[in-house]
Copies of this chain bind each other. A is one copy, B any other.
Amino acid sequence: AGDAAAGKAKAAVCAACHGADGIALIPGYPNLKGQNEQYLVSALQAYKAGQRTGPNAMIMQGQATGLSDADMSNLAAYYASMK
C-alpha cells in the first residue's frame, strides 16, 4: 500500500478540483474521499496510459502523466484513508 502522508504532500494540486477533504468542488468531478485505494491506482494508471479519453479525461491525463507509480499509490492511500 502507499504512504498516505507522502500522498497528502502530493495532493495539493488535486485539491483544487477534488477538494481538500476529497469532496469535489466541481460536480462533474468525482469525490475521492474514502474511495478504494486499488481502484484509485488503476484509474490514475488508466489516465496515464491513455486508456481514459474524451473531453472529461483530458485534464486528468495531463495530471497523471507527471505522476510516478509511487506518487499514484501514495495519493491513492491518502484519499482512501480519508474517513
Contact = CB atoms under 8 A, between A and B. Distances in A.
Contacts of A52: 46, 51-53
Contacts of A31: 34-36, 39
Interface stretch (A7-15, A22-30, A62-70): A22-30
Q: How many copies does the complex hold?
A: 2
B24 A30 contact: no
Interface on chain A toward B: helix, strand, loop, or mixed SS? Answer: loop
Contacts of A56: 42, 46
Interface of A: 24, 27-31, 34-39, 42-43, 46, 49, 51-54, 56-57
29 contacts: A24-B39, A27-B36, A27-B37, A27-B38, A27-B39, A28-B36, A28-B39, A28-B42, A29-B36, A29-B39, A30-B35, A30-B36, A30-B39, A30-B43, A31-B34, A31-B35, A31-B36, A31-B39, A42-B56, A46-B52, A46-B56, A46-B57, A49-B54, A51-B52, A51-B54, A51-B57, A52-B52, A52-B53, A53-B53
